[in-house]
Structure 1
């Protein structure tokens, strides 16, 4: 049975979704069937046919294709969802909240800027857009009394919600983060580890299931055993940059640590180096690769906070109840082992309309691009693939420096000079940066 929500009803909320024909879009639209106070008045995606097919699969029939604002307005006025292929066709008078999910920085920046210009709240699903121009968009929203929020259901917003709770309780936070997208599943019978369908042999890996006395050494051996698997992704750095800009915590190392860890080990692993862990100082963001056995529950791309266990008796009691406390008894891990994509996003829409206070991003951290090898002038930098990565460069989280290009600002550009291995790419090193994106990105200098 469904239990009625206790939240204050504000009347019907009219939402528009960009990048509608995608995995997130489907989960979001499916969930709206259970949140009747939120209505999708517009779905925007160049692939109209694909969007129609998705709606048919969901059993949604009340929609109408439109190519002008007047057509979109007429569809919304007749309680239908307008299917649009471009920004120019949007009727902003029919929209209270824009949910931006294109994952495309130039397009997402244009949609978001237009929404704010028309008095429309923005829920930002596209973390790529947020890391490139989110600081400027949030500042513009604040100036006009509008909401600009990361979307619940993805790790950044979920981690920020967890941190709000931990902070409200009064716990002292030393590290925060998330697991990478896919678990590492170790099968002792076959001596293999599987990650997202890719299976690698791992002889003697059973001996590495326990951390042992030398935690860094065990983590290094685990990493070496799994070196054939791709565990680092631009998406992870992107999500942690979104969080870092809102809480002021940097990455401990530019690439983040990515320890191969069982959830029960997090408090020990994120101890300081002096105490046998990997952390160099308090207040960091990081990502770990979740290791489990086939019959153990998944971390499901969840989020965590490492806090000080300030009263030993309290935390010894909690350890007995199954909570993750370090062997020293000085740290504990609090975590939410899930992120539910569009299923949770209605929470952000409610928060946007209600004006719920949120953490605004600041230009304290940037996600930059570091060359993996020498790159020749004329090389095209193209964001591609499931993880939205640029071939030949590593995403790194660094302190912003004048002239350095944010990773996703480089989307669709071409190198104008040779780049040495290990070099961070600058704005002046490329041609073809989108003018709107560059303007918004450079505006953060004044925020």
Structure 2
């Protein structure tokens, strides 16, 4: 793909962008890249922490006068007339800014859905980086965008958009996608000389020598690895959310409710994410799943990247590719194609260019609620308690995530619809949190969820 040709109209006039949530890692990385792109103009920044946003701009080398703090619509118009970034704390003031696209990155679903609705209804494209919102109401927002003649898209640089891109690339080329997935956020790094495993800032003494290679019984090897590293977390809430988005965008169902999370080396993926009858872990094919990247200190990381496992249709072709270093499984029936990176906001301009210049999403043009991320209580909850969301990974204390086929989810509430909601009835340990147990009075997210198209 020649991107310079694809976006040949780039630069005829600057694309006017508003970024909501500029202080986080994603937002900051997008602002960094915007500085290198004169064709992309930061028209507005929106964040409750005005001082923190000004500090972020200063740390990135923006002049002190580059942004003007705006308290009303007149302030906004004056700032823009002076060629400055309108810095607002109230997202409603974005309506006073002439925009081509809004990038939503607050991570707060109840706020995020309102921002997206406002933009789409006034004919402004939306790139939704708040995957918590996308997992609940992405299909509705996609439909709303179509009704208003604009684009709603996942942004490249986040794993959902990158994986949607890889899946659709494979389909266009005629590959049968057996599995599609991503690595979880952090690597498990094994030092065979020291017999230690590093995970984030932790180091544990453990030997994986006996299960370092897959051997003939893949399931047994994976079970041994899981047991040996049982002191470490082997699943993460964002993975369920991200694969919910991918499932809704591609129609691929989850491989398992808890996802499989094998501890796997990159070279093993084409042997693991294959049907059980061929020695792998899949009960069915055409699914989404996650793995934990296991590697040595001198091995390359998967970088939070994405992959597809495809069925090999011609032995001679794939043996030739295997000789060239491509990942072909031991039985020659499956191959793994992967992108070992996701660069957050550094990649996102591609999605902005596609939406504004081509009128096309880099995510899915149509979404349906094929899957539902739900919450299972890990303790007893009493009516009146709040399911508080917090932490870097937007977890909910006292529950664990699962990813169901939509029909199998029944009356279980979407995970991020339940977040920060007060319970109106008890929920017992082991139960899925039901929609009826939530106080949804005034919830914009619930109102939007009810407008989701059918699967």
Q: Secondary structure at the match of 1:211?
A: coil
Equivalent residue, structure 1, for 2:333 = 330
Q: Is 1:219 equivalent to 2:222 in the alignment?
A: yes
User: 4+ residue stretches of structure 1 with deviation over 4 A?
Assistant: none
Measured in 1, the distance between the counterparts of 2:25 and 2:180 equals: 27
Equivalent residue, structure 1, for 2:33 = 31
Residue by residue over 1:173-225, the C-alpha shift from the partner in whole angstroms, topping out at 9 and shown as x without a partner, is 1100000001111011221111111222213x122110010000000010111
Residue by residue over 1:377-422, the C-alpha shift from the partner in whole angstroms, topping out at 9 and shown as x without a partner, is 3322011111111011111111234542110001211222221222
Equivalent residue, structure 2, for 1:279 = 282
Equivalent residue, structure 2, for 1:369 = 375
Q: 1:433 to 1:128 in 2, by over 3 A?
A: farther
Q: Secondary structure at the match of 1:82?
A: strand
Q: Given the alignment, which residue of 98, 101, 115 partners 1:111? A: 115
Measured in 2, the distance between the counterparts of 1:356 and 1:89 equals: 27
Q: Is the 8 A contact 1:100 1:125 kept in 2?
A: yes
Equivalent residue, structure 2, for 1:386 = 392
Q: Given the alignment, which residue of 41, 44, 50 partners 1:42? A: 44
Equivalent residue, structure 1, for 2:412 = 404
Equivalent residue, structure 1, for 2:444 = 436
Equivalent residue, structure 2, for 1:89 = 93
Q: Secondary structure at the match of 2:448?
A: helix
Measured in 2, the distance between the counterparts of 1:90 and 1:142 equals: 21
Measured in 2, the distance between the counterparts of 1:370 and 1:415 equals: 14
Q: Is 1:240 equivalent to 2:248 in the alignment?
A: no
Q: 1:4 to 1:446 in 2, by over 3 A?
A: closer
Q: CA deviation at 1:162?
A: 1.1
Q: Is the 8 A contact 1:366 1:399 kept in 2?
A: yes
Q: 1:380 to 1:74 in 2, by over 3 A?
A: same
Q: 1:418 to 1:345 in 2, by over 3 A?
A: same
1:179-258 maps to which residues of 2 (within 5 A)? 179-203=183-207, 205-258=208-261
Measured in 1, the distance between the counterparts of 2:441 and 2:294 equals: 40
Q: Is the 8 A contact 1:70 1:91 kept in 2?
A: no
Equivalent residue, structure 1, for 2:173 = 169
Equivalent residue, structure 1, for 2:76 = 72
Measured in 1, the distance between the counterparts of 2:316 and 2:385 equals: 59
Measured in 1, the distance between the counterparts of 2:241 and 2:441 equals: 19
Structure 1: gaps spanning 5 or more residues: none
Q: Secondary structure at the match of 2:422?
A: strand
Q: CA deviation at 1:96?
A: 0.8
Measured in 2, the distance between the counterparts of 1:363 and 1:4 equals: 32
Measured in 2, the distance between the counterparts of 1:92 and 1:290 equals: 46
Measured in 2, the distance between the counterparts of 1:4 and 1:157 equals: 17
Q: Given the alignment, which residue of 360, 375, 384 partners 2:366? A: 360
Q: Secondary structure at the match of 2:284?
A: coil
TM-score, structure 1 as length reference = 0.96
Measured in 2, the distance between the counterparts of 1:312 and 1:433 equals: 59
The answer to which of 391-400 and 231-240 deviates more is 391-400
Structure 2: gaps spanning 5 or more residues: none
Residue by residue over 1:48-89, the C-alpha shift from the partner in whole angstroms, topping out at 9 and shown as x without a partner, is 000000100101121111011221122122221111101222
Q: Secondary structure at the match of 1:230?
A: coil
Residue by residue over 1:293-352, the C-alpha shift from the partner in whole angstroms, topping out at 9 and shown as x without a partner, is 001111000000000011001111111111111111000000000000000000110111
Q: CA deviation at 1:445?
A: 5.1
Q: CA deviation at 1:290?
A: 0.3
Residue by residue over 1:151-183, the C-alpha shift from the partner in whole angstroms, topping out at 9 and shown as x without a partner, is 110100001111222122211111000000011
Measured in 1, the distance between the counterparts of 2:276 and 2:346 equals: 39
Q: CA deviation at 1:434?
A: 4.6
Q: Is the 8 A contact 1:73 1:94 kept in 2?
A: no
> What is the aligned-residue RMSD (CA, Å)?
1.6
Q: Is the 8 A contact 1:411 1:433 kept in 2?
A: no
TM-score, structure 2 as length reference = 0.95
Measured in 2, the distance between the counterparts of 1:265 and 1:446 equals: 37
Number of residue pairs matched by the alignment? 444
